[in-house]
Amino acid sequence: MNIELQLCGLVMLLIFLVLILRDRKLYVKNSFLFIAAFGACIVCLIFDIASIVFIHKAVYEGFSPVITRAVCKIYIMLLVTQGYCGFLYACLDIAVQFKMRLIRTLAFIIYLIGEILIIVLPLEYFMDGRTVYSFGPAALCTYALAIFYISATLYLSIRHKKDIPHRRLIALFTWQGMWLIAAFIQFFSKETLLVGFAAAMGMIVLYSQLENPNEHIDRVTGLFTQNALSLYLQDRYTYRKSFAFYTARIKYLIPNAELDIKKNAVIRSARAFLKLGKEPVFRIGDDIFCVIYDSPERAYEKLLEIKALADGVTDIPGEAKFIYFPDSNMLSGADEIFNFIHCYDDSAENLLVCDQELIDKMRSRSEIYGLIENALRDDRVEVYYQPIYSVKEGRFTSAEALVRIRREDGSMVPPGDFIPVAEENGQIIPLGIRVFKKVCEFLASGEVRALGVENIEVNISVAQFEHENPAGFVKSHLETYQIDPSCINLEITETADNGLKHLLMRNMEKLINMGVSFSLDDFGTGRSNLDYFVSMPARNIKFDFSFTQGYFSNDKIRHVMNGMVNIIHDMDMKIVSEGVESQEQYEAMAALGVDYIQGYYFSRPIPGPEFIGFLKEHHT
Ligand code: C2E
Ligand code: CA
Ligand code: CA
């Protein structure tokens, strides 16, 4: 009997079925449809084989033609079911829109009508040696339906190519392609019964490419991975199934060197999470776990349970920090959830509850992130210059470069709105480089120098020392634009971090050796301290706006400033007073002995060309 290929296909599918059933699965809509299609394929193959056995018996042993026809009909009906399941599975990634629902309803109606037609229409069978087939109106109907589902699947996949992940598209095409080729061969060579086998192979392609749950399992802990979480969340949002969840970040208090111990601790922690209940547990970072629940009450109860355990989960000392999300509807989707976790995963709190205020803050941060990204891409980062006046020389000898972002509508965003975010998320690196490049371009023409400006002061965040090697980029830019290092003065603020301070000092030393000078910014605010003031090899000290203003409103500040001026001068440093807004203030500062004055009294920060105009007006 001509059933070898089908038997092979069946055995293959049964082996895979065992594997699939054995794996731990994450139930998303995808997997249900896949299991339906897989099941249909197995049953179909069984009836494929049965129909050949029955036809054989009917033709050669006189077995009941009615029963044989019935078996043949069940087989072709299952074939159509398989095509229908495949179609649904293929449609899944295409957005759940009204139109899709319409197409799906239509496909269902066609499916029902097709199956009824197969039941009522006549079907004949033929067998001669290895040649075996069924024919007649019911068989024709099957062909028509198969062609309909295959072409509908291909059409939708091509039409919505952009909504379907590439890998899925390739897998779907391979699967459908195998069907088509097999059907084609079988149509012309009736002895080659390929369709059943091709369908089985197709299922295995889909399983290995799209549904293999091992891809979603973390090897160390056996928990689901971050990718799995992403899929799972997308699914829950798409089908509007609200949920609550929490993340736990466990910091094991062991030295880095003992990796094996840490691995062991992670495995034991994972086990503790699994013991909490049947809900899916994800490992979404080295030491971040996440569990999803249908109700906020249960999520919170379990959170408290594991929190009470947290330190005692393993005998390795650890510290756990939790973020609790009571209601998934507060966030717009998987991306926002990951964004939130990323944004707050180093929060100081042991239990952070995701509320509207935190969400708003995160949204504004991601908005700023986008603002900076786009501004860098579209070259909308601008540098303004605020003139700095030398009291002794009676002219403008310097200017501070201050960054701004121009919005697409032309309005300006002040640095206070985006620098703190950029410092936190690392965008300060590309941003700082862009500002420095613009300053170099500005200096390269030599025009400002010809107008008496000796140097430009550029702000550099301590965060830039952490991620980058500022000495390197400053040097390379100065060389590219052939700028004398003495034209650059870098303004720095302090850092409480000792490691950073060390790095800062090393870089400063390199830059000073190159000929670049430094100013200590924000003197007189909470950010300044004596240690820095003494150890920093800065040429200038910049009195902060609030410090300068305090001189006129606070007796104590006035006394401090009087004393500081002498101390700073004794230490061979110069003073720049920021925030001088009126003539009286200017005169008072000059009388106090301040060397340089910067403030609205002379000018607000202005664009480069305007600054050149300003210099021309005042210096010629
Ligand atoms: P900062 O370094 O203390 O800069 C001085 C700020 O005081 C500037 O604000 C300036 O416009 C403002 N200012 C100057 N004179 C007066 C005055 O007379 N009255 C008043 N009320 N304000 C005055 P801006 O441009 O908004 O910059 C704010 C901060 O953003 C800067 O403070 C600096 O910390 C940071 N920043 C600006 N550009 C950069 C940059 O390129 N890189 C980095 N890392 N930070 C920058
Ligand atoms: Ca500054
Ligand atoms: Ca300042």
Same domain membership, residue 55 and residue 114: yes
495 has a pLDDT exceeding 80: no
Residues 355-383 as b or e (16 or more Cβ within 10 Å = b): eeebbeebbebbebbebbeebbeeebbbb
522 Cα nearest atom in ligand 1: 3
233 has a pLDDT exceeding 90: yes
Ligand 3 center–CA 493 separation, angstroms: 8
Same domain membership, residue 374 and residue 316: no
358 has a pLDDT exceeding 80: yes
Report residue 475: phi and psi, to 5°: -60, -50
Ligand 1 center–CA 505 separation, angstroms: 23
C-beta of 228 in contact with ligand 1 (< 6 A): no
With beta carbons less than 8 A apart as the criterion, state whether 158 and 174 touch: no
The closest alpha carbon to 453, from 484, 492, 431, 475, belongs to 484
Measured between alpha carbons, how far is 213 from 280 in angstroms, rounded to an integer?
13
Measured between alpha carbons, how far is 1 from 170 in angstroms, rounded to an integer?
35
Measured between alpha carbons, how far is 344 from 362 in angstroms, rounded to an integer?
9
Q: Mean pLDDT, to the nearest integer, of 393-405?
A: 97
Find the ligand nearest to 403 CA: 1
Q: Tell me: the pLDDT tens digits for 308-342?
A: 876 555 566 678 899 999 999 999 999 999 999 98
Measured between alpha carbons, how far is 410 from 439 in angstroms, rounded to an integer?
21
What is the pLDDT, as a whole number, of residue 100? 72
Domain end (from 354, 376, 402): 354
Ligand 1 center–CA 385 separation, angstroms: 10
Higher-scoring residue by pLDDT: 272, 32 = 272
The answer to whether residue 359 sits within a structural domain is no
What is the pLDDT, as a whole number, of residue 558? 93
The four Cα atoms 417, 419, 423, 425 give a dihedral, to 10 degrees, of 50
C-beta of 439 in contact with ligand 1 (< 6 A): no
With beta carbons less than 8 A apart as the criterion, state whether 581 and 600 touch: yes
What is the pLDDT, as a whole number, of residue 331? 94
For helices 29-61 and 65-91, angle between their N-to-C axes, nearest 10 degrees: 160
The answer to whether residue 360 sits within a structural domain is no
The domain spanning residue 144 has which CATH number? 1.20.1070
Atom 22 (ligand 1) nearest CA: 579
Atom 3 (ligand 1) nearest CA: 522
The answer to whether residue 342 sits within a structural domain is yes
Q: Using a CB cutoff of 8 Å and minimum separation of 24, what contacts does 571-574 make?
A: 573/538, 573/539, 573/540, 573/541, 574/539, 574/540, 574/541
Same domain membership, residue 303 and residue 251: yes
Amino acid identity for residue 233 in this structure: L
Q: What total number of domains does the chain contain?
A: 3
What is the pLDDT, as a whole number, of residue 316? 66
What is the pLDDT, as a whole number, of residue 217? 87
C-beta of 435 in contact with ligand 1 (< 6 A): yes
The answer to whether residue 146 sits within a structural domain is yes
Tokens, residue 526: 């909470």
257 has a pLDDT exceeding 70: no
Residue 68: half-sphere exposure toward Cβ, Cα within 13 Å: 21
The answer to whether residue 139 sits within a structural domain is yes
Same domain membership, residue 306 and residue 181: no
Most confident of 289-298, 343-352, 489-498: 289-298
470 confidence band (pLDDT: 50, 70, 90): confident
Same domain membership, residue 237 and residue 124: no
172 confidence band (pLDDT: 50, 70, 90): confident
Report residue 7 CA to chain centroid gap: 46
482 confidence band (pLDDT: 50, 70, 90): very high
What is the pLDDT, as a whole number, of residue 186? 84
Ligand 1 center–CA 380 separation, angstroms: 18
527 confidence band (pLDDT: 50, 70, 90): low
What is the pLDDT, as a whole number, of residue 75? 93
C-beta of 86 in contact with ligand 1 (< 6 A): no
C-beta of 581 in contact with ligand 1 (< 6 A): yes
Q: Mean pLDDT, to the nearest integer, of 394-401?
A: 97
The answer to whether residue 435 sits within a structural domain is yes
Ligand 3 center–CA 491 separation, angstroms: 8
Same domain membership, residue 473 and residue 348: no
Q: Mean pLDDT, to the nearest integer, of 377-384?
A: 97
Measured between alpha carbons, how far is 279 from 497 in angstroms, rounded to an integer?
41
Q: Mean pLDDT, to the nearest integer, of 361-378?
A: 94
Find the ligand nearest to 518 CA: 2
542 Cα nearest atom in ligand 1: 3
Give the whole-number percent of the chain exceeding pLDDT 90: 56
Looking at residue 162, the DSSP 8-state letter turns out to be G
What is the pLDDT, as a whole number, of residue 516? 96
Across 23-27, 62-66, 610-614, least confident range = 23-27
Same domain membership, residue 310 and residue 180: no
Looking at residue 314, the DSSP 8-state letter turns out to be S
Domain end (from 186, 214, 242): 214
Q: Mean pLDDT, to the nearest integer, of 198-209?
A: 88
Same domain membership, residue 456 and residue 420: yes
Ligand 3 center–CA 455 separation, angstroms: 17
What is the pLDDT, as a whole number, of residue 90? 77
Same domain membership, residue 512 and residue 465: yes
Across 144-153, 219-228, 472-481, least confident range = 144-153
pTM of the model: 0.70
C-beta of 545 in contact with ligand 1 (< 6 A): yes
Helices (DSSP H) in 482-607: which residue ranges? 498-514, 530-535, 545-553, 555-570, 583-592
Q: How far apart are the first and last CA of the chain?
A: 106
Same domain membership, residue 221 and residue 148: no
Q: Which residues, 6 or more positions from 576, have their beta carbon under 8 angstroms from its beta carbon?
A: 388, 519, 540, 541, 542, 543, 594, 595, 596, 597, 598
Across 203-207, 231-235, 529-533, 552-556, least confident range = 529-533
Looking at residue 161, the DSSP 8-state letter turns out to be G
Ligand 1 center–CA 402 separation, angstroms: 6
Helices (DSSP H) in 345-469: which residue ranges? 356-377, 419-425, 428-444, 447-450, 462-467
Across 50-64, 145-159, 253-267, 495-509, least confident range = 253-267
The domain spanning residue 237 has which CATH number? 3.30.70.270
Ligand 1 center–CA 595 separation, angstroms: 19
Same domain membership, residue 483 and residue 574: yes
Q: Tell me: the pLDDT tens digits for 406-421?
A: 999 999 999 999 999 9
C-beta of 415 in contact with ligand 1 (< 6 A): yes
Same domain membership, residue 249 and residue 204: no
138 has a pLDDT exceeding 90: yes
Q: Mean pLDDT, to the nearest integer, of 46-64?
A: 92
379 confidence band (pLDDT: 50, 70, 90): very high
98 confidence band (pLDDT: 50, 70, 90): low
Atom 30 (ligand 1) nearest CA: 415
Ligand 1 center–CA 28 separation, angstroms: 51
The four Cα atoms 54, 49, 127, 186 give a dihedral, to 10 degrees, of 160
**Bridge partners of residue 383, in order along the sequence:** 403
533 has a pLDDT exceeding 90: no
What is the domain extent for residue 482?
365-618
400 confidence band (pLDDT: 50, 70, 90): very high
116 has a pLDDT exceeding 90: yes
Atom 13 (ligand 1) nearest CA: 579
Q: Mean pLDDT, to the nearest integer, of 143-154?
A: 86
Domain end (from 354, 381, 397): 354
Find the ligand nearest to 585 CA: 1
297 has a pLDDT exceeding 90: yes
Tokens, residue 457: 């002061």
The DSSP element (H or E) to which 127 belongs, if any, is strand 124-128
Please return the burial class of 560, using the count of CB atoms within 10 Å of its CB with bins 0-12, 13-18 and 19+.
middle
C-beta of 202 in contact with ligand 1 (< 6 A): no
What is the pLDDT, as a whole number, of residue 312? 55
The domain spanning residue 608 has which CATH number? 3.20.20.450
The answer to whether residue 67 sits within a structural domain is yes
Block residue for tokens 């992670």: 266
Report residue 191 CA to chain centroid gap: 53
The closest alpha carbon to 467, from 439, 417, 504, 435, belongs to 504
The answer to whether residue 293 sits within a structural domain is yes
Higher-scoring residue by pLDDT: 3, 589 = 589
